[in-house]
Amino acid sequence: MAKQVQEAYIVAAARTPIGKSHRGAFRSMRSDDLLVAAIHAALKQAPGLDPAAIEDAIIGCAFPEAEQGMNMARVAALLAGLPNSVGGVTVNRFCASGVTAIQMAADRIRVGEADVMLAGGAESMSLVPMSGNKPAFNPAVFARDADVGIAYGMGLTAELVAQKWKVSREAQDAFALQSHQRAVAAIAAGEFADEICPVDVVDRVPDLASGRVGERRRTIALDEGPRADTSLAALGKLRPVFASPKDPSGRATGLGTVTAGNSSQTSDGAGALILASEAAVKRFNLQPLARFVGFASRGVPPEIMGIGPIEAIPAALKATGLKLDDLGWIELNEAFAAQSLAVIESCGLDPARVNPLGGAIALGHPLGATGAIRACTTIYGLRRRKQKYGMVTMCVGTGQGAAGIFEAL
């Protein structure tokens, strides 16, 4: 930002575990309740902060309706016990909603309009499905071939990317296996301990003998998605679940490559970060974890939305004056193995620096929360490994890419 007047520092970063949608621990838990848990955890990391100093809460959500509607940011801020003076706005850039919320909060501080901001993301794909409860595309989307891609299912866009970038089924399955292996190893090593806030869950359990409904309380402290038992053989047995490529006559070839195993998991989760100016850091005796360095978003054709980071990554590097080699850690959201591999190859990313603790194929992808969650992972990962710069980047439905850069302190 050429007109930046002060720095924005991340002084707290916390996230919930990521639950499997529909069958996981959070399947009946509202996303605003998950967000409240993350906010409480973030506030505990900044004990000297006066909550009344928070100017606004900016929260990302990909489908802000039903249980996660009604301006979830404001509702969650109040339910978390923040003063009435703290505002709230819910923002939507689909899969990049969480990192966009961080960027917006950081920019409020960097231009001098605020000293303390709350940012994050939350999503329940158990309660609000992909595309929402009532998908209703504008009929004009189907009037021109150039716009039809707006309505494409994400799986179809991944198939198109696999075709255009020649990403094989074998490569996708190998990438998916690596994601699980890295995530399982990371959990065993306690790599996520600093960022995860355990969440208490109350399950209602019927007692058939008495006819009453009892309660069972448990604490969820680990991500539910990673599987230690997966293998190339198991992944290879899964059938393609999205539209298959067609031959010149228009007949399906049956050679689709995108499966449930090499796609991101649908998930539930939330993340929250507190950002502060240097003046607020000194006033409240806060400990900066990282500095927000910069952000970029770019558009791409909707039908190949998965390649969005190919445009956003160079733009973010140019805006911040950094080079690719400066990035020690890159969280590339694994919407699909096909698009992840296409981005890695096209941008010349070092695979060892990309998702070192696994990605969304193993850990899950709670849409609007993912950017905030992966920001937490990046910040703590950089600090543990004594690296300086890290990036959170992802593709976005309807054809976008986004990338945010952080500097560990």
C-alpha–C-alpha distance, residues 192 and 194, integer Å: 6
Dihedral, CA of residue 358, residue 356, residue 98 and residue 84, to nearest 10: 100
Rounded to a whole number of angstroms, the distance between the first and last alpha carbons of the chain is: 20
Q: Which residues are catalytic?
A: 95, 365, 395
pLDDT tens, N- to C-terminus, the chain (409 residues): 457 899 999 999 999 999 999 999 999 999 999 999 999 999 999 999 999 999 999 999 999 999 999 999 999 999 999 999 999 999 999 999 999 999 999 999 999 999 999 999 999 999 999 999 999 999 999 999 989 999 999 999 999 999 999 999 999 999 999 999 999 999 999 999 999 999 999 988 777 778 787 788 999 999 999 999 999 999 999 999 886 555 455 555 557 999 999 999 999 999 999 999 999 999 999 999 999 999 999 999 999 999 999 999 999 999 999 999 999 999 999 999 999 999 999 999 999 999 999 999 999 999 999 999 999 999 999 999 999 999 999 999 999 999 999 999 9
Quick one: which H or E segment has residue 162? Answer: helix 154-164
Phi then psi for residue 298, to 5 deg, are -145, 155
Distances (CA, A) of 210 to 141, 206, 213, 215, 222: 56, 9, 9, 14, 34
What is 203-272 written as a DSSP string? EEEEETTTTEEEEEEEEE-S-S---TT--HHHHHTSPP-SPPPB-TTS-B-S-----STTBPPBEEEEEE
* Residue 139 identity (one-letter amino acid): P
* Residues 6+ positions from 390 with CB-CB distance below 8 Å: 327, 328, 329, 330, 331, 378, 379, 381, 382, 405, 406, 408
Secondary structure of the chain: what % helix, strand, coil (to 5)?
40, 25, 40
C-alpha–C-alpha distance, residues 238 and 83, integer Å: 50
C-alpha–C-alpha distance, residues 355 and 387, integer Å: 14
* Residue 373 identity (one-letter amino acid): I
C-alpha–C-alpha distance, residues 340 and 337, integer Å: 5
